[in-house]
Amino acid sequence: DADVTQTPRNRITKTGKRIMLECSQTKGHDRMYWYRQDPGLGLRLIYYSFDVKDINKGEISDGYSVSRQAQAKFSLSLESAIPNQTALYFCATRDRLGEQFFGPGTRLTVL
């Protein structure tokens, strides 16, 4: 079984809809991250969390919110999806040595 899982893997939705992307990990890492990837651009950080009570904005947090329900779960929400949020979204964890472990990605299309 994968150490970092994301659901759904693919989602097509309409402008204005609320969307939640979920991430779970079995690695026991405190640090979790949400990134988005757009064609021709590097991955960009949306939000990160160092533990259940510590959540921080990344470089592109506008239009997104997160919830760290437990050490193992970190969800990303789009309150009112817009077409320029169409992207590939990755959840990742980080161990104490700094190595990153990525989920398989969620491909989101907003029409």
Partner 1 sequence: KNEVEQSPQNLTAQEGEFITINCSYSVGISALHWLQQHPGGGIVSLFMLSSGKKKHGRLIATINIQEKHSSLHITASHPRDSAVYICAVALLIQGAQKLVFGQGTRLTINP
Min dist CB 50 to partner 1, Å, is: 7
Q: How far apart are CA 111 and CA 106, in angstroms?
A: 16
Would you tell me which residues interact with partner 1 (CB under 8 A)? 40-45, 48, 50, 56, 58, 88, 90, 92, 97-102, 104-105, 107
* CB of 12 or CB of 80, closer to partner 1: 12
Min dist CB 94 to partner 1, Å, is: 8
E strands, the chain, are 4-7, 10-13, 19-25, 31-37, 44-51, 54-57, 65-70, 73-78, 87-94, 100-102, 106-110
Min dist CB 17 to partner 1, Å, is: 23
Min dist CB 92 to partner 1, Å, is: 8
Q: Do residues 76 and 88 make contact, with C-beta atoms less than 8 angstroms apart? A: no
What are the structure tokens assigned to 95, written together?
């161990």
Q: How many CB atoms lie within 10 A of CB 107?
A: 14
